[in-house]
Structure 1
Amino acid sequence: MHTVDQENVSATLTVAVPAAKVFAVLADPTTHSAIDGTGWVQESVDRAPLTEVGQIFRMHMYHANHPNGDYQVANQVQLLDPPRAIGWRTGTEKDDGHLEFGGWIWRYDLAPLGPSEAEVTLTYDWSAVPQSIREYIQFPPFGPEHLTNSLQHLAELVAGK
């Protein structure tokens, strides 16, 4: 199931895996390409596990509509509450190392439903995106089924670990 609000979209899926195991996969940037499943997210540049708020992890990306096709994003961890929640904002790193963020956030909330089951909610929130960016990027930049598919990839990945 998924819901679309004015400024965010979310999807929820129950997985037959403990929340801590799901969190460990989400906190590993090297798994994000497989979770995404669209081909937009390529491999991670920074391979260290996500362990603190403010941590930056960069990802190689590809999108046919992007001016460069291949590009890189810099994500900054905004929320880290193992094993209940993890979230990051996405931006770009300028040549001088300065980071600029677009105003959108990816967030996963995990609710244990017992020792071997968890409910996972993925939320994409664009409420902080300035008008200047909204003029050339449509939000959300994907259909609502994307989040559901992503959660299904996550479930398959975690089940196989």
Structure 2
Amino acid sequence: MPPAPAPAPTKVGPVNPDKVTATQTIPAPAPALFTLLANPATHAAIDGTGWVQEPVDRARLTQVGQVFRMGMYHPDHPLGVYQVANQVHVLDPPRAIGWRTGEEKEGGHLEFGGWTWRYDLVPLGPSETEVRLTYDWSAVPASIREYLRFPPFGAGHLADSLRHLAALATDG
């Protein structure tokens, strides 16, 4: 059996004041990649920082407005271990999926910080897809920017996430 093809290089877009993107061609069909992205149980394996832990809500992402919570870990977070509440704001199977991240306050009220994650999938053929991951913090208010630096991770995070997605999709 011939060796699996080497993964395509990831292109990281320039960081503008409020958004960063990375793009990679993955040798997998768009529906298979979308299935991975719509499953909160795969998010820890895809994440390029190691911050995303276990999903609290494991239901597949199927509609705009759906909320899914994830366990998180960050050494600089006041609690170290914490939880985020994500709300799906883009869902166009198998072409796009995105969510905004926040937290659940007392009484179940959700409060979002103004940053979003979005994956855009462009089929390049039956078994190849260009995937663009965008982290956008343009809606983060000044009050949050006073104590959080954006983006809160290194430039390689998005590229690492796309490489992890490719590895999951190709069992490699």
| Bin for the TM-score computed over the shorter chain | over 0.9
1:2 equivalent in structure 2: 12
* Correspondence 1:71-82 to 2 at 5 A: 71-82=82-93
1:59 equivalent in structure 2: 70
2:5 equivalent in structure 1: none
**Paired letter, 1:107:** R
**Paired letter, 2:68:** F
**Paired letter, 1:133:** I
SS of the residue aligned with 2:106? coil
SS of the residue aligned with 1:47? coil
Deviation at 1:62, TM superposition (A): 0.4
Runs of 4+ in 1 over 3 A off after TM superposition: none
1:128 equivalent in structure 2: 139
Q: Take 1:85 and 1:117, find their aligned partners in 2: how far apart are those partners? A: 16
Alignment length (residue pairs): 161
Q: Take 2:171 and 2:61, find their aligned partners in 1: how far apart are those partners? A: 21
1:39 equivalent in structure 2: 50
Q: Does 1:89 align with 2:100?
A: yes
What is the root-mean-square deviation in Å for CA atoms of aligned residues?
A: 0.9
2:31 equivalent in structure 1: 20
Deviation at 1:38, TM superposition (A): 2.1
Q: Does 1:118 align with 2:129?
A: yes
Q: Does 1:137 align with 2:148?
A: yes
Task: After superposition, give the CA deviation of every residue in 1:44-98 in whole Å (9 maximum; x if it has no partner).
Answer: 0000100000000000000000000000000000000000000000000012100
Q: Take 1:39 and 1:139, find their aligned partners in 2: how far apart are those partners? A: 18
**Paired letter, 2:81:** D
Which runs of no fewer than 5 residues in structure 1 stay unpaired?
A: none
Paired-residue identity, %: 68
1:146 equivalent in structure 2: 157
- Verify the 8 A CA contact 2:49 2:153 in the aligned structure 1: no
Q: Take 1:13 and 1:37, find their aligned partners in 2: how far apart are those partners? A: 14
